[in-house]
Structure 1
Amino acid sequence: MHRVVVLALDGVIPFELSLAARIFGAAGDRYEVITCTLDGAHVRTHADYSIAVEHGAGVLATADTVVIPAAEWFGDVREPADLPAALVEALSTVRPGTRVVSICLAASVLAALGLLDGRPATTHWAHAEDFRRRFPAVAVAPEVLFVDDGDVLTSAGAAAGIDLILHLIRRDHGSEVANQVARRCVVPPWRDGGQAQYIERPVPAPSSSGTAEARQWALARLHEPLQLDDLAAQAQMSRRTFTRRFREEVGMSPGQWLIAQRVELARHLLESSDLPVDRVAERAGFGTAASLRQHLHAVCGVSPHTYRRTFSGAVGAGRP
C-alpha cells in the first residue's frame, strides 16, 4: 500500500489539510493516509480551532508521498532560516525518490529548501509575482492549476489541490480509478494541470443562456467532427458571444476544451477496452491514430500503445 504522509504545520489552512485524506482515502485500500505534526502534539489551524494528531514527524521517513498543505505564514518565507529548525530537520529525513507535494503557498517551503531550484512550479496566482521575486531560481508557472515535475509536484490555490491529487491517482492507477474517486467526492474528474487558474474573472450573471447545455450536447457527440458553429448554435449564440461566454465559464477556449475531453475519453477507452488504437481514435473524435498519438503525447508524453500497457493491467486489477 502506498503511504501518504500529510504534514500539518502551525497555522495550517483546514481545507488544504483535509484534501489528501479525503481524495486519496476515496481510492479505497490503494493508499494509506497518515497525518503528522512536527512533535506529534496539537497544532493551531488558520481557523478558530486546533487539531490533534497521532503521529510525530518520524513517520515522514516512511512516506511514499509527502503532502504539505498551506499555512498563511508561508508567504513570508524566503530562506531556510525562515523555517522552524524542526521542520528543516524533519524534511531532511524524507527518503530520496519520495514524491513531495505542496498545496498552494506551501511551494514556498520547498523553494526555501532549494527543492525547486531550476524546476517548474506554481502557487496561488495572487502570490505568484511575489513568489518569483523571493525565489528567482524557480521557473514559476503562474497561471496553471498544478505542475508535475516527477518527484516534486506543486499546486495552485485550494481547489487545485484536488486536481493535483486526482492527477496523482490517475498517474498511479489510471483514469478509471481517478474517475471513480471523483464521482465519490462529487468533483470534476479532470482538469488538466495546464488549464488556467481563475484569475480575477467576473462570475457570469445567472442566465439560461450559458454554455453548459452545449457542453453536455458535445460530450455525447465527441466522435463527431464538431465545429465551433455547432456548439454556438446549440447555445443559440453567435460564435463571438459563445466563445467569450465559454471562456468566462470554463477558463479555456471551446477548441481547447474539446481536445481535453477527447483525450480523456481516449484514455478511458485505452484503459477499459480492447479496441484497436484506430478505433479508439475514431470513438474519441480524433479521426486518425496519428492525430490521437499527437494529442495524447502532448498531454501524457507517451504513445497510445505505451499508455495502454502502463495502465490497462493496473486498472483491471484494481476494479471493484
Structure 2
Amino acid sequence: MRAEVLMYDGIAEMDALLTFDVLARARLMGVDVSPVLVTPDGSPEVTGCYGTRFGGLVRWDPSRADALLVAGGWDVDVIEASSLPARLRAYKEQAGPRLLLGGIDSGAVLFGAAGLIDGRPATTYRFDMEYLAKWADVIDARIVDDGDLVTSGSGWLAGLDLALYLVAERLGAPHVAVEIEGRIGHDRRGTVWRR
C-alpha cells in the first residue's frame, strides 16, 4: 500500500507525523506499506499550525496512491482560504474508487468540505463534530470504518489510532500493530464502528 500522508500549510503536525511514524515502523517490520509525505502542488516545504517547517516533501500522485491520509489543522482557515477542498475532490476523482481516504482527527472535515463524504458515517475531533455534521452522519466513535473511508476522532492521538487500525485491519498485520503499540506505549482502545 502506498499511503500518501498529505502535508499543507496549517496542518496539525502531530496528527500527520504520528500516522507516518507508525506506518514507517510497520514497513521496517515487513508490512507492505510505503508512507510518503506529499503536498498537492509539489511544494517541497510547508509550515504546520504551530510554526514547524517541514521539507523534502513530494507532489502527491493519485495514479500511484492506494490511500490518502489527511490530518486536520486550522480547518476553518484552510477551508475558507485555500483551494485544498477542491484539490482533494480532484485527487479522488483521478485516483478512482480504489483509493482509501483516511481522515485523521479533523481531517474528516476537509473531506466533508471537498464533497467526498456527503451523508456517510464519519468521526472527527470532538470539537469539530458539529461542523462535520454539515456533510456527514457523525458517529461518536474512536474509529469509523465505512469501506473506502476510515476516520479517527480520538483527539491528539488520532494519528496513532488510524495508523494502528490500518496496519492491523487493512494491511493484515495485527501482530505488528500490537508490537508497535508496545514500543510507543499506546494501546488501541475505544469504539470501532463498522458498516
TM-score (norm 2): 0.84
Question: Which structure would you say has the larger Rg?
Answer: 1
Q: How many angstroms apart in 2 are the aligned matches of 1:300 and 1:26?
A: 26
Look up the match of 2:161.
Answer: 163
For the residues of structure 1 that align with 2:52 and 2:78, how far apart are their CA atoms?
23
Deviation at 1:155, TM superposition (A): 1.1
Partner residue, 1:115: 116
Normalised to the residue count of structure 1, the TM-score between the two structures is 0.53
Q: Is the 8 A contact 1:74 1:106 kept in 2?
A: no
Q: Is structure 2 residue 66 aligned with structure 1 residue 68? A: no
* Contact in 1 for aligned 2:102/2:150 (Cα 8 Å): yes
**Kindly, what percent of the aligned residue pairs are identical?**
26
- Equivalent runs, 1:296-311 vs 2, <5 Å: none
Is 2:144 the counterpart of 1:147?
yes
Residue equivalent to 1:39: 41
Higher-strand-fraction structure: 2
Query: 1:130 corresponds to which letter in structure 2?
Result: Y
Against the structure 1 CA distance between its residues 91 and 108, is the aligned structure 2 distance closer, same or farther, given a 3 Å change threshold?
same
C-alpha distance in 2 between matches for 1:22 and 1:34: 10
Shift in CA distance, 39/124, structure 1 to aligned 2, threshold 3 Å: same
Change (3 A) 1:35 1:97: same
Q: Is the 8 A contact 1:71 1:105 kept in 2?
A: yes
From the superposition, tell whether residues 14 and 181 of structure 1 become closer, same or farther in structure 2 (CA, over 3 Å): same
**What is the SS of the residue equivalent to 1:93?**
helix
Q: How many residues align?
A: 188
Secondary structure at the aligned position of 2:117 is classed as coil
C-alpha contact (below 8 Å) 1:40/1:53 kept by paired residues: no
In 1, Cα distance between equivalents of 2:22 and 2:97:
25
Query: Would you identify which runs of 4 or more consecutive aligned residues in structure 1 move more than 3 Å?
Result: 74-78, 81-92
- For 1:283-298, list aligned pairs within 5 A: none
Which residues in structure 2 correspond to 1:181-220 (within 5 Å)?
A: 181-188=180-187, 190-194=188-192
Match of residue 13 from structure 2: 14
Distance 1:54 1:127, change over 3 A: closer
Q: Is the 1:36–1:53 contact (alpha carbons within 8 Å) kept by the matching residues of 2?
A: no
Q: Which has the higher helix share?
A: 1
Q: Distance in 1 between matches of 2:166 and 2:122?
A: 16
SS of residue paired to 1:173 = coil
**Aligned residue runs from structure 1 range 73-152, under 5 A:** 73-74=75-76, 77=79, 83-84=83-84, 85-132=86-133, 134-135=134-135, 138-141=136-139, 143-152=140-149
Say which of 55, 61, 64 aligns to 1:52. Answer: 55
Q: How far 1:103 sits from its partner (Å)?
A: 0.9
- Which letter maps to 2:146? D
Instruction: Report the CA distance between 1:92 and its aligned residue.
Output: 3.2
